Copies of this chain bind each other. A is one copy, B any other.
Amino acid sequence: MPTPRHPAPPWDVERWFNTDVPLSLQTLRGKVIVLEAFQMLCPGCVSHGLPQILRVRDAFPADRVAVIGLHTVFEHHHAMTPDALAAFLHEYRIDFPVAVDRHDGRSPIPATMHAYGLRGTPSLVVIDAHGDIRHHAFGQIGDLQLGARIGTLLAEDDAAPARRCRDDACEIDTTTSLGAIGQQQRAAVALKA
């Protein structure tokens, strides 16, 4: 079922792991973003979601596809604190950037999880190079399907006129002109190995 395209809400983050600078949709503009919403004590996240996103990280070049974890704690808050998450990330050798979704102290649902309307964990959100949500899944999705969605977004981006993005704006780059051959070459390098 096609997911309607709409702008990804901003991330409301309490703390980042595995990155020196805070990340945002703006700083990642121009890349496909694969966002994994998880909880450290969620069995499906540990057995399926996180291993899958590590495979995504290994399969695609970092300058085209950004892999981001979002720790969306909506239950057992006392057991899944940021400090406990630090131990979890260390033990599971998760070294891609992970954001801790912010709690306002009133709702058990953290802010970004609420803004994205996520039903639970694991949830996968695929955001295109323009910052639009293009896929949204709760539970498990197969590697073939996920690979196809990422490949589609990469190819779309390759077929589009070249852009220069800065801050939250992108303009068409009139200094380059990409013909059919150029597009193929870019598509060809969109996969490692």
Q: List residues of chain A with CB under 8 Å of any chain B CB.
A: 1-3, 5, 41-43, 46-47, 55-56, 59-60, 75-76, 78-81, 83-84, 86-88, 90-92, 142-156, 159, 183-185, 187-191, 193
Contact = CB atoms under 8 A, between A and B. Distances in A.
A190 B79 CA distance: 40
Q: Give the most central of A43, A84, A88, A144: most B CB within 10 Å.
A: A144
B145 A148 contact: no
Q: Give the most central of A1, A41, A59, A83: most B CB within 10 Å.
A: A41
Contacts of A56: 144
A143 B149 contact: no
B46 A148 contact: no
A145 B78 contact: no
A2 B43 CA distance: 36
B59 A187 contact: no
Report, nearest first, the 5 A-B pairs whose CB atoms are least far apart.
Answer: A147-B147, A151-B151, A2-B188, A148-B151, A143-B143
13 contacts: A2-B188, A5-B184, A56-B144, A59-B142, A79-B87, A80-B87, A84-B84, A144-B144, A147-B149, A147-B151, A148-B154, A151-B155, A152-B187
A65 to B, nearest CB: 9
Contacts of A144: 55-56, 59-60, 143-144, 146-147, 150
A142 to B, nearest CB: 6
A147 B190 CA distance: 13
Contact of A42 (B59, B91, B156): B91
